[in-house]
Structure 1
């Protein structure tokens, strides 16, 4: 059974994340936990005020409606259970703490559309959660709609040298019920002449011997601009989901170089799955 955690504030982009997850659980046996973070400190323009959540009771009532909506739309209700939690505190703190207790297989979070202001991007709860938790996080763009029959190509931005077998195993477990092809692709900013073909050979042999029933290929992206080259690959291969492993870097490197995670998160037009290493 796969455990899904969905932080929700009832804004459209978080409802879209719920709908995406609901489509996923049509194919897998799972448990969804809807988490609302309640704080009494709300401003006049806050999402809580706009959605008329003025108490914990209001939040529970809205979660109950959402739970009913999820269950009513599932053809196989025996495959899924839906839990509800309302916890006092700010989302960036509550989600991280509750995740350590709940230990989800996947946290599914909605993100706002591209083009938000710098202040909103820097204050992104989704980005804060990705940085702090040790569990996989899927960021679902506000305007993205999942066609359950279209989850056919997944891009896993890989690093053959560091053998990201743990992330690959988690990815296969999440999408194993779908007829998908996983594109294991390494970004090589310095060109093809810097590629070590032995690494790809070793990874390919492991991949095919371990996951014999999973359609997979290995490839390279050779371009110094990660965002542009990745989008070109996504367009050329009709990618429906992107996955990447996030590595912790030291303080100096974080100051001197923008985070790859942040770049991808705020430029993605398709759902992006972040693993941790």
Structure 2
């Protein structure tokens, strides 16, 4: 198989949403898209997106042994892995107080440790190649927290934390990182992929309840088009100087700017108190 002039992509979680859209956009560019799914019946559907350019493997990102096997198989088959997209994950909605330890651990396990496992096992390949690019699918919720998404926010903040560190640790090795921070897009994130905490506390109805109602009302009519977001990511992958952070969509950009402005105002307001904490030597 001739892959010398094609980029080889590994995209986790491609059965729907951004992952599925990426498989289409990547293959339309002429690159090879290797996606992972969790159900056997999704293998044929994924490989039929663009036969000869789209391939699929079964993978649960929470199974580190399986992650190693899949990445090794892709490297053996194609000779390289140019781009890794950590897309597999889900949202958990509920107040922090409402969230059980098990619900929180499951959220962190998939969104953080699953992505970390894939990243760690792809890094040696990219080091050996002298190049590579990670697209870490975070959320605007990885930069700005929302009532009712606290543990989900925590998982994406953690993803962003180690991803930004890798960008600094591995830049000299030719490895790039782009943290993708989408706002509302018409995917299954707020639909079949979303999980809700079992516990509900009435005191949070006016905060978490309103956020939950907004998600449900907006589901299916979000302004964001996953295919156009996927095409934007492919454009970044083929650019010489891609960004570290990439908020996607108008709401994401507006909320990011609002947080930046608030931080700047608070830093300026409390600067004198803050800097007056050093030893007077």
Report the TM-score range of the alignment, normalised by the length of the smaller protein: 0.3 to 0.5
Instruction: Report the TM-score when normalising by structure 2.
Output: 0.37
Instruction: Report the TM-score when normalising by structure 1.
Output: 0.38
Higher strand proportion (structure 1 or 2): 1
